[in-house]
Amino acid sequence: MKAPLLCACLLAAATRAFAADDFLDRVDQALTLSIFDDQVRTRVSGLLDLEYYHYPQPPPGLIRAEDHDLFSPRLSFFLDTQVGPNIYFFVQPRVDTGFDPTDLGTQVRLDQYALRVTPWDDGRFNLQVGKFSTVIGGWVGRSLSWENPFVNAPLPYENPTLVSDVELPLTGQSFRAVPGSDKYEFLPIIWGPVYAPGVSVAGRVGIFEYAAEAKNAPLASRPESWNDYDFGHPAVDLRVGLRPNEAGRFGFSFAEGSYLRPDAGPLPSESDPADYRQFVLGQDISYARGHLQIWAEVFEARFQVPRVGDADVFAYYVEAKYKITPQLFGALRWNQELFDSGRDPTGQPVAHGHDVCRIDAAAGYRFTAHSQLKLQYSVARDDFISNHLQGTFAAQFTVRF
């Protein structure tokens, strides 16, 4: 009953948003400021997201909530500043109920801020310093609600493995015996856009692209780790890519870094959290032409787990979006995450994870250039809790200003 009621409210809000479209265009103009004869220009913009989830317990992905329904509003602001043609600065603060949807109350965070220097006009070299999203993969660029055809992220970016950065297993057997309610203690292969602080260089020369970054935390690290500003054991991420034309893009990525938090325990004697690392190999490919967009990514990740050894995981997804009419689009995504098994250092058999497959189907409608409604239904088969199919409904209404 709650879901239809909420959808009705969202539709009512959408109607109001349609009337406000011209107003939001004016707000956009009013929030663009310029000084020094247009050499310094600043624009403030934002996204208001109203999200609703209905799911079985435990909730899917990185959602943390005790009920079967969750309403998760989010307000994101973006400050983009261009100083001359060669310097770009951006800031992204956010007010929500947590970096991932929770029922734990309101948070205010500074997710991103960075300064980028582009010495040459052709983009062959960019230097960026600050706290910003990872250069790895191909999903980050569409992670915000307006660009993402779905409400959630692909499986590799949000599905917890059995690897924890805090609670370490005492034996190989205890590695698998994880209660579902503690899912937040465990890490996905990549934690969303990974807004970790660091420095990056990136560029494009002809059809070739490159990017490299050194950050304080690796891809799997949780948002709390991003804010530690401890660069004692920096993570390194690399991506080289090929863009033969504007329609297609292919990239190969490598990342590694120590993923355990300083308070992780219990550690084996004479070992240090920095001794245990995450390695990721990734490939991303995308194609866009006309009204069709297709993306796919493959990740092979290895976590070095104390007392367990190497826990390997293979994950991939294939995603497509098609604009059916100028305002209506549909999207479909197939995700799968497969874990290997092995023996712990004592010779005990140990499964390194619980295989998951999930299909996401979504439809979106843009009422105006500033408002959008997305409805999504996901079906997952996850032996984490049971072998049964689990369905999740999600709705997201977005106002862009």
Partner 1 sequence: MNGNLLLRLFVALSLTPAACLGQATIEGRVELPKSHFAPVASERYEIVSKAGVLATYPPRAVVYLQGDFPKPSALPTKQVAQKDFAFAPALLPIEVGTKVEFPNLDDTYHNIFSYSPAKRFDLGRYPPGEKPTPFQVFDKAGLVTLRCDIHEHMRGLIMVLDSPYFTITDAAGHYRLTNLPAGHFIVKAWVDSKTTRERPVDLKSSAVLQVNFP
- Interface residues with partner 1 (CB under 8 A) are 21-22, 25, 29, 32-34, 38-39, 41-43, 45, 78, 80-82, 84-86, 88, 90, 92, 112, 114, 116, 118, 120-123, 126, 128, 132-133, 135, 140-144, 193, 200, 202-204, 209, 211, 245-247, 288-291, 293, 323, 325-327, 366, 368-369
Min dist. Cβ of residue 223 to partner 1 (A):
17
Beta strands 69-83 and 309-323 are unpaired
**Residue closer to partner 1, measured from CB, 76 or 392:** 76
Helix (H, G, I), strand (E, B) or coil at 105: coil
Of the candidates 316, 313, 249, the residue with the CA atom closest to the CA atom of residue 280: 313
CB nearer to partner 1: pick between 124 and 277: 124
Q: Which is nearer to partner 1, 114 or 189 (CB)?
A: 114
> Please, are residues 297 and 320 in contact by the beta-carbon 8 Å criterion?
no
Classified as helix, coil or strand, 64 is strand
CB nearer to partner 1: pick between 48 and 140: 140
Fill in the amino acid letter for 121: D
- Rounded to a whole number of angstroms, the minimum distance from the CB of residue 314 to partner 1 is 26
Nearer of residues 12 and 369 to partner 1, judged by Cβ = 369
CA separation for the pair 367, 20 (Å, rounded): 11
Q: Which is nearer to partner 1, 222 or 321 (CB)?
A: 321
> Exposure string (b/e) for 332-371, b if CB count within 10 Å is 16 or more?
ebbbbbebeeeebeeeeebbbbbebebebebebbbbbebb
The pair of structure tokens assigned to 122 is 């052709």
Shortest Cβ 227–partner 1 spacing (Å): 19
Nearest distance from residue 80's CB to partner 1, in Å? Answer: 5
For partner 1, the closer of residues 58 and 193 by Cβ is 193
Q: d(Cα 286, Cα 289) in Å, to the nearest integer?
A: 10
Beta-strand pair 126-132/107-117: antiparallel
Q: How far is the CB of 346 from partner 1 (least distance, A)?
A: 45
- The span from the CA of 163 to the CA of 218, in Å, is 14
Least distance between partner 1 and beta carbon 305 (Å):
31
Residue number, 158 or 382, with CB nearest to partner 1 = 158
**Residue ranges in 159-267 assigned as alpha helix (H):** 172-176, 223-226
State in angstroms the smallest separation of the CB of 204 from partner 1.
Answer: 5
Token output for 211: 């990017």
Q: Which secondary-structure segment (H or E) carries 16?
A: helix 2-19
Residue 22, classed as helix, strand or coil, is helix
Question: At closest approach, how far in Å is the CB of 309 from partner 1?
Answer: 35
Contact (CB, 8 A) for 129 and 231: no
